[in-house]
């Protein structure tokens, strides 16, 4: 920081201004003055060196008076000081040369110059000195010398420096505190985002757990009747085959019936009820019904799995690819008229999971992909891959796509855009629940009119 404001030195002072500058004329008071001061004559010889000046400079009057050593307390080699320059006429050029940017003309006292500088050579490790010098006149107004006044500014400067340092320290502190606050703010924002996402997950989990409860209730109610239907059906099958045996025996005995009328009636009855067809159809109906019952039992089991009431579910280390193949087999009927399936399988390590549930997720995704197809036959691409920590399965279709606003809702239970009877809107919310239970994630990327890709990412190992 400049010590004094830079000012152009106006050295073209009028003679009347010089005449007015009689401040320094009281030379007689110099000795007693508390202000450090000295005077020189036109030969640059020191004529006065007061006590205050001796104390400030550490140079007694006895060593200074009568010499031209006024530079000595301030500089390490001889040079003109401000008083010398004033005696020489106070010209702008020399003043600028010896005190570049450090001295200005006094506004209060024309002809007088004021400056401030640090003098490292001075006693006590150097001093900040404010100095001024002006001409001395005799009664006729002739310049007879110059007088210089000094003021020790060191204490004030040190105080200023301390203040400046204090301010800088404070600024630094403010910067540090602000940075700390901003860091905390970032942390808080992050924590808040995590909380919001956790809350969303909780809401999702809440929705799913109510579905789970419903499913558990339904599964429980259906489980018993389906149990006795299944066991009765077995018995019924047995009875029927025994009846068939009996019927065969009767049929064999039929020609032996002697009464023609009875024989004729039996024959007519056999034709009316199409006994041969009946005999052929009954086992088919039985088999199909059994399949139906088995499927219902499986659905009930799935419902129980979904609702997690069945604790017997075993986490297993499995290759996901066979599961995808068997799932494709199961849904083959749905897929084959609507789309071609392309498999792009990567090399997968075994994944710790509940395989039947992962299959169910894949099945939901494949069926959704099929249902997204329009009149034109489409393509479903199933890809797999892995990273060091995760394995992923992608089901991509070139179907109708999902709009951005609907994407936010597709995992909601009962959200469906399909006609009544086609979709319940549970497929994706169940899938979401299953994948969450596996500590994995399910992502969707979709463009309306282009297609949709679902990706399930699963950790290779479940956290302990």
By the criterion CB under 6 A, which residues form the site for ligand ATP? 364, 368-369, 372, 397, 399-402, 410, 415-418, 423-429, 452
The smaller minimum CB distance to Mg ion, of residues 246 and 330, is found at 330
Which entry of ligand ATP, Mg ion, none binds 424, CB below 5 to 8 A by partner kind? ligand ATP
Which entry of Mg ion, ligand ATP, none binds 305, CB below 5 to 8 A by partner kind? none
Q: How far is the CB of 383 from ligand ATP (least distance, A)?
A: 15
The smaller minimum CB distance to Mg ion, of residues 30 and 372, is found at 372
Which entry of Mg ion, ligand ATP, none binds 426, CB below 5 to 8 A by partner kind? ligand ATP
What CA–CA distance (Å, rounded) separates 342 from 294? Answer: 31
Among 368, 381, 429, 452, binds Mg ion (CB under 5 A): 368
The smaller minimum CB distance to ligand ATP, of residues 53 and 396, is found at 396
Count Cβ atoms below 10 Å from residue 224 Cβ, excluding itself: 9
Check: CB of residue 405 under 8 Å from CB of residue 338.
no
Check: CB of residue 49 under 8 Å from CB of residue 65.
yes
The smaller minimum CB distance to Mg ion, of residues 145 and 427, is found at 427
Query: Residue with structure tokens 């040369």?
Result: 97
The smaller minimum CB distance to ligand ATP, of residues 42 and 424, is found at 424
Interface with Mg ion, residue 90, by CB under 5 A: no
What CA–CA distance (Å, rounded) separates 113 from 84? Answer: 12
**Phi and psi, residue 143, nearest 5°:** -70, 125
Check: CB of residue 434 under 8 Å from CB of residue 353.
no
Q: How far is the CB of 315 from Mg ion (least distance, A)?
A: 26
What CA–CA distance (Å, rounded) separates 387 from 370? Answer: 29
Q: How far is the CB of 387 from ligand ATP (least distance, A)?
A: 24
For 68, 87, 160, 350, the CA distances from 103, given in Å and listed in that order, are 22, 16, 21, 87
The residue sitting closest to ligand ATP, measured at its beta carbon, is: 427
Interface with Mg ion, residue 427, by CB under 5 A: yes
What does the block give as tokens for 24?
A: 């320094």
The smaller minimum CB distance to ligand ATP, of residues 351 and 402, is found at 402
Q: How far is the CB of 368 from Mg ion (least distance, A)?
A: 4
Q: Which residue, 114, 136, 128, is CA-closest to 28?
A: 136
Percent composition of the chain: helix, strand, coil (DSSP 3-state, to 5): 50, 20, 30
Q: How far is the CB of 414 from ligand ATP (least distance, A)?
A: 8
Residues that bind Mg ion (CB under 5 A): 368, 427
């Amino acid at each position: 920081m400049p010590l004094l404001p830079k000012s152009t030195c106006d050295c073209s002072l009028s003679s009347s201004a010089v005449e007015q500058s009689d401040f320094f004329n009281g030379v007689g008071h110099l000795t007693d003055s508390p202000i450090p001061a000295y005077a020189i004559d036109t030969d640059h010889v020191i004529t006065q060196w007061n006590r205050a000046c001796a104390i400030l400079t550490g140079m007694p009057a006895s060593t200074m008076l009568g010499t031209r050593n006024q530079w000595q307390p301030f500089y390490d080699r001889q040079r003109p000081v401000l008083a010398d320059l004033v005696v020489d006429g106070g010209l702008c050029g020399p003043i600028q040369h010896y005190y570049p940017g450090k001295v200005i003309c006094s506004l209060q006292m024309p002809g007088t110059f004021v400056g401030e500088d640090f003098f490292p050579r001075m006693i006590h490790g150097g001093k900040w000195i404010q100095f001024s010098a002006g001409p001395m006149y005799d009664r006729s107004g002739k310049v007879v010398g110059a007088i210089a006044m000094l003021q020790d500014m060191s204490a004030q400067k040190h105080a200023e420096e301390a203040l400046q340092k204090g301010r800088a320290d404070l600024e630094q502190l403010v910067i540090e505190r602000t940075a700390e606050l901003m860091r905390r703010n970032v942390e808080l924002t992050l924590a808040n985002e995590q909380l919001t996402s956790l809350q969303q997950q909780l809401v999702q989990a809440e929705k799913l757990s109510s579905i789970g409860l419903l499913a558990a209730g339904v599964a429980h109610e259906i489980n018993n009747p389906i149990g006795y239907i299944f066991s009765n059906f077995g018995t019924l099958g047995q009875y029927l085959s025994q009846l068939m045996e009996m019927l065969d025996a009767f049929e064999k005995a039929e020609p032996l019936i002697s009464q023609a009328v009875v024989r004729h009636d039996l024959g007519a009855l056999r034709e009316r009820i199409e006994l041969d067809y009946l005999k052929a159809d009954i086992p088919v109906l039985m088999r199909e019904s059994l399949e139906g019952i088995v499927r219902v039992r499986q659905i009930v089991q799935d419902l129980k799995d979904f609702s997690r009431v069945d604790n017997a579910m075993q986490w297993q280390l499995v290759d996901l690819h066979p599961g995808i193949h068997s799932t494709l087999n199961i849904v083959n009927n749905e897929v084959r008229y609507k789309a071609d399936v392309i498999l792009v399988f990567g090399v997968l390590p075994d994944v710790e999971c509940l395989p039947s549930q992962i299959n169910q997720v894949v099945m939901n995704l494949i069926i959704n992909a099929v249902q997204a197809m329009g009149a034109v036959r489409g393509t479903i691409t199933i890809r797999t891959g892995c990273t060091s920590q995760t394995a992923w399965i992608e089901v991509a279709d070139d179907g109708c796509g999902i709009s951005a606003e609907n994407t936010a809702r597709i995992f909601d239970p009962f959200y469906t855009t399909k006609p009544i009877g086609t979709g319940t809107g549970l497929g994706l919310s169940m899938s979401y629940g299953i994948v969450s239970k596996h500590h994995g994630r399910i992502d969707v990327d979709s463009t309306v009119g282009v297609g949709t890709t679902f990706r399930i990412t699963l950790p290779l190992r479940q956290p302990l």
